[in-house]
């Protein structure tokens, strides 16, 4: 189903050079549909503060709560409105090879620059099955492989990655296992983005990582960029650590969603099974913002503590 129209083609090399990729949040209207106005604002803030790539519909963007038509539409929308300014990486992976094939084919057709691919979570498979799974989609275009055993229940071992490096489309790895694993790859010339914000500074400066696929950059894109581009900065890194810890106290994107709502840049709407952090944690976030400086966060409204009643939780949408 390949198109050879060249307008949006991006080389795998281009993807390899990206340092700051934000796993962008998907905001919702009160009925649970996408809030594209808010989304566009979020993306514009990323552009202004220096993000170079976006993961659309990642776990942060709650791709797991989207129907595929919503998901591909959001990729197409992002390409159409922002594809000239930022690299759009669609999370078209799936634990079903069929779905990964279909979504990836569609994602490239609507112009995404690269695909993010996960190993088959939950269903899991053998090593041979994992390789067959990735082989089914790697030929379609530039691809990043995503390893996050704490979610998938199954590590992608280095030998799988080394097999996949035979494909010219493999741009690199989003690795969440830790910096030793990062180094194992970067020592062998494989591009890595850490998926752990708390390790990004060291991953970048000490372990050879190209950059980060970040959750935290949804909130403070400029500071994350500073950590990646302006040399070692352990003091800034330390200063951000309490915020990063706050963001991962519960499964992401629960804290992120809560934070963005309190910053006034998204409506306080959650698609279940996500629910907001409790009040005490919401109060903490306001303190963290004040400590780091409101001006470093996205948006320009006062940060506020939302009440329980302010949040809308939707199950049917």
Applying the rule CB under 8 A, the residues between 126 and 145 that interact with a second copy are 126, 128-130, 132-133, 136
Say whether residue 305 binds a second copy (CB under 8 A).
no
Token digits of residue 108: 């490239």
Q: Is 79 in the site for a second copy (CB under 8 A)?
A: yes
Provide the residue count of the chain. 317
Comparison of 13 and 99: residue with beta carbon closer to a second copy: 99
Q: Which of 28, 39, 174, 207 is catalytic?
A: 174
Task: Please give the size of the binding site for a second copy, defined by CB under 8 A.
Answer: 76
DSSP structure class, residue 263: T
28 catalytic residue (yes or no): no
Strand, coil or helix: what is 86? coil
Q: How far is the CB of 187 from a second copy (least distance, A)?
A: 28
Examine residue 40 and tell whether it contacts a second copy (CB under 8 A).
yes
d(CA 292, CA 242): 10
Nearest one of 79, 86, 85 to 106, comparing CA atoms: 79
Using DSSP, state whether 270 is helix, strand or coil: strand
Nearest approach, Cβ of residue 230 and a second copy (Å): 30
Please state the φ and ψ torsions of residue 115, each to the nearest 5 degrees: -115, 145
Site for a second copy in 177-236 (CB under 8 A): none
Phi, psi (rounded to 5 degrees) for 312: -115, 125
Q: What is the distance between the alpha carbons of residues 35 and 27, in angstroms, rounded to a whole number?
A: 5
**Residue 87 binding a second copy, by CB under 8 A:** no
Least CB distance from residue 267 to a second copy, whole Å?
13
Q: Which is nearer to a second copy, 79 or 263 (CB)?
A: 79
Return phi, psi of residue 270, to 5°. Answer: -115, 130
Q: Does 124 bind a second copy (CB under 8 A)?
A: yes
Query: Minimum distance from CB of 210 to a second copy (Å)?
Result: 25
Exactly one of 72, 215, 223, 298 binds a second copy (CB under 8 A); which one? 72
Q: Is 313 in the site for a second copy (CB under 8 A)?
A: yes
Stretch that binds a second copy, among 17-25, 74-82, 169-177, 203-211 (CB under 8 A): 74-82
Q: Angle formed by the axes of helices 127-138 and 97-109, to 10°?
A: 20
Rg (CA), the chain: 18
Question: Is 232 labeled as catalytic in the residue annotation?
Answer: no
Q: Burial code of 26-51, b = ≥16 C-beta within 10 A, e = fewer?
A: bbbbeebebbbebbebbbebbeebbb
CA distance 241 to 137: 37
Nearer to a second copy (CB atom), residue 73 or residue 236: 73
**Considering the complex, what minimum distance in angstroms separates the CB of residue 316 from a second copy?**
6
> Between β-strands 114-118 and 87-90, what pairing exists: parallel, antiparallel or unpaired?
parallel
Catalytic residue among 25, 28, 39, 146: 146
Binding residues among 244-303 for a second copy as defined by CB under 8 A: 250-251, 254, 271-275, 277-278
Give whichever of 11 and 96 is closer to a second copy, judged by the CB atom.
96
Annotated catalytic residues are: 146, 174
């Amino acid at each position: 189903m390949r198109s050879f129209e060249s307008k949006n083609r991006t080389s795998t090399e281009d993807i390899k050079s990206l340092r700051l990729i934000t796993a962008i949040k998907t905001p919702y209207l009160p009925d649970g549909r996408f809030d594209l106005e808010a989304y566009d604002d979020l993306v514009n803030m990323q552009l202004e503060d220096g993000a170079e790539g976006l993961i659309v519909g990642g776990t942060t963007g709650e791709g797991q709560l989207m129907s595929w038509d919503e998901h591909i539409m959001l990729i197409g929308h992002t390409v159409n409105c922002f594809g000239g300014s930022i690299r759009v990486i669609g999370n078209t992976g799936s634990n079903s090879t069929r779905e990964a094939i279909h979504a990836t084919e569609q994602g490239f057709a609507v112009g995404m620059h690269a695909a993010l691919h996960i190993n088959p979570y939950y269903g899991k498979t053998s090593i041979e099955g994992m390789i067959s799974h990735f082989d089914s989609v790697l030929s379609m275009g530039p691809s990043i492989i995503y390893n996050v055993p704490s979610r998938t229940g199954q590590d992608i071992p280095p030998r799988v990655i080394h097999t996949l490096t035979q494909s010219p489309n493999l741009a690199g790895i989003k690795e969440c296992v830790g910096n030793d694993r990062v180094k194992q790859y970067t020592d062998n010339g494989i591009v890595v983005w850490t998926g752990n914000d708390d390790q990004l500074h060291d991953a970048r400066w000490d372990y050879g990582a190209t950059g980060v696929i970040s959750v935290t950059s949804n909130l403070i894109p400029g500071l994350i960029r500073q950590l990646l581009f302006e040399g070692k900065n352990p003091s800034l890194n330390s200063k951000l650590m309490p915020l990063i810890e706050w963001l991962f106290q519960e499964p992401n994107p629960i804290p992120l969603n809560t934070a963005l709502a309190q910053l006034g840049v998204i409506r306080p709407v959650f698609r279940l099974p996500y629910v907001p952090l409790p009040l005490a944690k919401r109060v903490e976030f306001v303190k963290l913002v004040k400590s780091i400086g409101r001006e470093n966060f996205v948006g320009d409204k006062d940060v506020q503590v939302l009440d329980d009643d302010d949040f809308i939780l939707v199950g049917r949408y």
